[in-house]
Amino acid sequence: MNLDEPNHIAALRDTIRRFVARELPREAVRKWDHDDEFPRAVFDKLAALGVTGSTIPESYGGTGRDIPATMATIEELARRSFPIAVAYINCACYGGMNILESGSEAQKRELLPRLARGEILFAYGLTEPDIGADLASVKTRATRRGDTVIVTGAKRFCTGADIADYVYLLANSDPAGARHKNLSLILVPPKSPGVTLRPIPTMGLRGFPSFDATFDAVEVPAANIVGGEAGWNQAWPMLAGPTLDVEKLEVAAIGIGIAAAAIDDAWEYAQTRVQFGKPVSSYQAIRHALADAKTRLHAARLMLRHASWLADRGEPCGVETSMTKLFVSETAKRIVLDCQTVMGAYGYATEFDLERHVRDVLLLPIIGGSSAIQRNNIANRLGLPR
């Protein structure tokens, strides 16, 4: 493995950074966060760059499946705006990767070109009020009536469902069937009759809210079964496939972006804030805190780069992606909180970005499989006896 970043990814980073500087100025991002507003027009401009096609082969209108490039895009976006990074994930990953891996050929021909252009977004409908990590126990029901599927139940934390074109919904499609062989994934437009969305107020990720979603006998065509007819009762392998590994890396990439932004701000603050006649960067406690933060960020980047390289090659990487998600999300949290300490009261004031970074980074050890789940995954996959 060559640890040097390829030239095309370095060029991509430069493109995204110039886009961020132009379209995501700090003042605007702060306002969107304060107003709990999502700038869809800005996302559309991002999509026009072609970056939403990085998970999709050229034959379906994308730029070619490139997991390291996808992670680099997420990192650079999250460095300025968590919501824009998540919207990108909802399109390129939740949509593009899942349909490429699990969709029927008809679904690929219809949806992948639109996802590559950034025209449509997906929201996940996996978690339920009583179901978190144990997805095989979901209670939402999907029943067949000829060429129609009827969905009834409730989902929780459907992030971005209000602007999504489809909820990628997991349902029990055979209550009498064997566990893991009785699940189906259904594409449900959230504007369908019978769908009700209720926003869940959260401390972070403002502007791209999560929702409680209820489905009251919602009817969708059987063509919306992910994988077509062959996908009925076959959702478990789709959930446990390569997209799950990449989902963990998406969260890690967000963490690296937020942590890098926090370090940038604390690093500058330490050089400009003067106390007792000299910059606080001259005091050993501050210097050590920033040196540790830089070191931890470097280690996190190397872990993500290695795991992304494995996933891109299609190699087994469940252990490495769990390790990366665990280490990077927890490390990002520590980095951001340490940077807040460096900035003191200014790191708590809403006129500075670090306060927002603190609110956002606290989510990362929870989503995409909690830190406890990742530790279980690592121990189990490495054969540690129970």
186-212: pLDDT as tens digits: 999 999 999 999 999 999 999 999 999
So what's the pLDDT on residue 1?
67
For 59-90, how does the pLDDT look when each residue is reduced to its tens digit (9 = 90+)?
Answer: 999 999 999 999 999 999 999 999 999 999 99
How far is the C-alpha of 231 from the C-alpha of 234, rounded, in Å? 5
State yes or no: pLDDT of 241 exceeds 80.
no
What global pTM score does this model have?
0.96
pLDDT one-digit tens code per residue, 267-289: 999 999 999 999 999 999 999 99
Mean pLDDT for 252-278 is 97
CB 95 within 8 A of CB 83: no
Q: Tens digit of pLDDT for each residue in 304-347? A: 999 999 999 999 999 999 999 999 999 999 999 999 999 999 99
- Cβ 114 vs Cβ 120: under 8 Å: yes
Contact (CB, 8 A) for 108 and 47: no
CA-closest candidate to residue 209, choices 277, 282, 158, 272: 158
Domains and CATH numbers, the chain: 7-120 (1.10.540.10), 124-235 (2.40.110.10), 241-381 (1.20.140.10)
